[in-house]
Structure 1
């Protein structure tokens, strides 16, 4: 389900994935991502989808469990 690799990164930035936030509440994960990469926007998926269309080099998708709101997949840029 979803993407497993980043498709791009902002010039001058190397952070493109956040494996450390798996298991965190989605709000806390989004705050961490925003602090690391204020130049990206965050999309949320609860449960199994629907996945946003196409890769986007300035988007990070946070996938969380629909019942608990806990991040279940590593958020990646793209």
Structure 2
């Protein structure tokens, strides 16, 4: 990825909207997908995507990573 940020451990437990905004600021070249619990998703790797898996409270549940 040539030095571009690929994961955001500091966003674990953060509210979804500010987390998505931070990722978009750090990596404007990727799409951010916010996925509530139980949402269906395609498991294939996509280098132009970051998924935010959130819990029922709207907080980031897993460390967001590119893919």
TM-score (norm 1): 0.77
Runs of 5+ in structure 1 lacking a partner? 1-8
- 1:49 maps to which residue? 39
Runs of 5+ in structure 2 lacking a partner? none
CA RMSD between the two structures: 1.3
Q: Is 1:63 matched up with 2:56? A: no
Equivalent residues, number: 67
3-state SS of 1:34 partner: helix
- 1:75 maps to which residue? 64
Q: Is 1:27 matched up with 2:38? A: no
CA distance in 1, matches of 2:57, 2:11: 15
